[in-house]
Amino acid sequence: MSPLSRREFIKSSLVAGTLASVSNLPMHAAQLPATEAVTLGKSGIKVTRLAFGTGSNNGYVQAALGQTQFTELVHYAYDRGIRFFETAEAYVTPAMLGEALKGIPRDSYQLMSKVTTDPGVDPGKRFDEMRRVSQTEYFDIMLLHWQHTSDWVAETQRWQDGILEAQAKKSILSRGASVHGLPALRQMPGNKWLEVAMIRMNHNGTRMDGPTSADNNNPSSVSEVVQHVKQVKQEGMGVISMKLVGNGAFTKREDRKAAMRFAFRNAGVDCVTVGFKSKSEVDEAIENLNLALA
């Protein structure tokens, strides 16, 4: 008998997985697309396609678990194959995530954070404090957080220079930005400084970019967002998408599956981050992503 192709293996594995409950996915799921390592464009950073997000409602959803339960959930995700963890200075979770990851070999996972680009602040000192809080010697990815105006590139020049200095010291390994709103997103294509772009994405525009930075629904803007994703990928940027569950609005699994499928098949993102509060959510997201690429 000829060996199964990769696609046939994935499909047969997923069929087997659906025979069990979502919370009891087979261990070979860890070898499927959700937890495979992909390179984020010219950054050279390799991450799993699925990232563990810790910013649901600015992290208060994760913080409500308490440190013990949160640590257990982080370890569960790690054991299931998720090796990419995301937080931000503005969230309430950086210290909790640092504590949860303590004892896990640092070179076995990737850590991304986002810095608030406040005026009148020394970027170097801010990065040192962020590393202290997160209990890490370096961040694999540092993003300029919540860029939401058309002039953000010029306005954050000091922070861009600060990240470059940190990269020279290897306390930050790669750089990028997260944007909210089309005026900010339109500044990403052609930007030579960016290595990683974090862009909101789902199939119906729920809590996605629109004419302003307002955090609302913009279904008519989805095609433009997808166009910009494809543009920056052609320029060599790695693309990480967020809002895969519509900021919690997608209460039906079919919507969550559709969002995952759209992000990878239609927009062609490299990686997605999902905020988790339970083991069943981790398992479902793994299965949804595996199905999206099957």
User: What pLDDT does residue 5 have?
Assistant: 52
pLDDT score of 11 more than 80:
no
Give per-residue pLDDT as tens, 195-253.
999 999 999 999 999 999 988 999 999 999 999 999 999 999 999 999 999 888 999 99
pLDDT score of 3 more than 90:
no
Task: Count other C-beta atoms under 10 Å from residue 293's C-beta.
Answer: 16
Residue where the block lists tokens 């790695």: 238
Give the confidence band of 72 by pLDDT, cuts at 50, 70, 90: very high
User: What pLDDT does residue 31 have?
Assistant: 58
Give the three-class secondary structure for 142: strand
User: What pLDDT does residue 8 have?
Assistant: 53
Mean pLDDT on 95-115: 98
Q: For residue 152, give the DSSP letter.
A: H
Q: Identify the bridge partners of residue 176 per DSSP, sorted by sequence position.
A: 143, 196
Q: Where are the domains of the chain?
A: 6-292
Give the confidence band of 24 by pLDDT, cuts at 50, 70, 90: very low
Token reading at 293: 């690429």
Main-chain dihedrals φ then ψ at residue 200, nearest 5 degrees: -70, 140
226 with 265: CB under 8 angstroms? no
pLDDT score of 27 more than 70:
no
Task: Report d(CA 70, CA 63) in Å as an integer.
Answer: 7
Close Cβ partners of 17 (under 8 Å, ≥ 6 residues apart): 25, 26, 29, 287, 290
Bridge pairing between strands 238-242 and 271-275 = parallel
User: What pLDDT does residue 32 have?
Assistant: 80
Task: Report d(CA 124, CA 268) in Å as an integer.
Answer: 34
Close Cβ partners of 254 (under 8 Å, ≥ 6 residues apart): none
Mean pLDDT of the chain: 91
User: What pLDDT does residue 215 have?
Assistant: 86
Q: pTM of the full predicted structure? A: 0.90
User: What pLDDT does residue 281 have?
Assistant: 97
Task: Report d(CA 143, CA 136) in Å as an integer.
Answer: 16
Close Cβ partners of 133 (under 8 Å, ≥ 6 residues apart): 94, 95, 98
Task: Report d(CA 92, CA 156) in Å as an integer.
Answer: 23
Give the three-class secondary structure for 138: coil
Helical H runs in the chain?
6-18, 60-63, 67-79, 94-101, 123-134, 152-155, 157-169, 182-185, 222-234, 253-261, 279-292
Domain 6-292, CATH class in plain words: alpha beta
Task: Report d(CA 39, CA 4) in Å as an integer.
Answer: 26
Give Cα separations from 54 to 57, 89, 156, 164, 225 (angstroms).
9, 11, 25, 25, 24
pLDDT score of 151 more than 80:
yes
User: What pLDDT does residue 20 have?
Assistant: 39
238 with 270: CB under 8 angstroms? yes
Token reading at 88: 């931000």
Q: Which residue has the higher pLDDT, 269 or 7?
A: 269
Mean pLDDT on 243-271: 95
Rg of the chain over all Cα atoms, to the nearest angstrom: 18
User: What pLDDT does residue 165 have?
Assistant: 98
pLDDT score of 185 more than 80:
yes
